[in-house]
């Protein structure tokens, strides 16, 4: 079956983490189920799988990946409540991270059989889209060998700081979870965790680096553009259902 790069972009707006998790799990399971059904069909009767890109804003929440350590959350339940934050242990890779207002969270739910079956290349492509987006704001970002994410001052370990975190899951080459780009986010919330389990690197935001607030929708438009170019998405815009 030919690769299908048709991709539905859906902006979920401001949504509780648990609701958004259920929403992307539905799309993920639906895609995996279709792939399993296709194995029972002749090639000419197989149905194409769709791809999705979700953007969303979350209220304060900490999420811990399947290989993460709970001690990297530095708050107890009472303190979480005082911070008006929630906590989820989820199925993505990586350790602990924070999502909150002023942050663009992206969940690509892609059938990588439609693109390339290489999870490391997939992560590098996501990172590249963020790097290109930041370059449009004259923010020089890059990668640190051995550490997933997008970083600033990558040549100086004493100054390196993360501006975008990544954590993904893949099953039958279908992806879920994704990335979180710090735009105008309150960085104080990162003081309550050991971000991504790394205790010797700082976290930053576009606001922090530029000294001004940045329009979220403007950043989203640029990020969507670069993701589309890198993955060669054929966009199909639909309202949230």
The number of CA neighbours under 13 Å toward the Cβ of 92 is 26
DSSP string, 41-91: S-GGGPPPPPEEEEEEE--SEEEE-TT--GGGB---HHHHHHTT-EEEE-S
Q: Which residues are catalytic?
A: 196
Phi/psi for 177 (5° steps) reads 60, -165
Rounded Cα distance between 187 and 14, Å, is 19
Please state the separation of Cα 56 from the chain's center in Å.
10
CB 56 within 8 A of CB 12: yes
Dihedral, CA atoms, 79, 81, 83, 87, nearest 10 degrees? 90
């Amino acid at each position: 079956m030919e690769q299908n790069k048709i991709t539905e972009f859906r902006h979920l707006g401001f949504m509780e983490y648990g609701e958004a998790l259920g929403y992307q799990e539905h799309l993920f399971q639906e895609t995996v189920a279709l792939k399993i059904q296709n194995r029972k069909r002749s090639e000419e009767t197989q149905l194409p799988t769709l791809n999705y890109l979700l953007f969303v804003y979350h209220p304060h929440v900490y999420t811990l990946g399947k290989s993460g350590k709970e001690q990297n959350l530095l708050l107890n339940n009472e303190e979480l409540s005082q911070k008006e934050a929630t906590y989820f242990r989820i199925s993505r890779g990586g350790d602990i991270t924070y999502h909150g207002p002023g942050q663009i969270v992206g969940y690509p739910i892609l059938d990588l059989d439609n693109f390339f079956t290489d999870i490391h290349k997939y992560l590098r492509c996501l990172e590249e889209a963020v790097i290109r987006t930041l370059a449009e704001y004259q923010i020089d970002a890059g990668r640190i060998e051995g550490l997933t994410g997008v970083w600033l001052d990558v040549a100086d370990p004493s100054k390196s700081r993360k501006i975008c975190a990544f954590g993904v899951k893949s099953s039958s080459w279908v992806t879920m979870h994704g990335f979180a780009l710090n735009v105008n986010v309150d960085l104080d919330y990162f003081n309550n965790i050991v971000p991504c389990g790394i205790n010797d690197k700082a976290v930053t935001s576009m606001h922090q680096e530029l000294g001004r607030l940045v329009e979220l929708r403007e950043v989203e438009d640029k990020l969507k553009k670069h993701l589309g170019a890198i993955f060669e998405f054929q966009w199909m815009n639909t309202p949230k259902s």
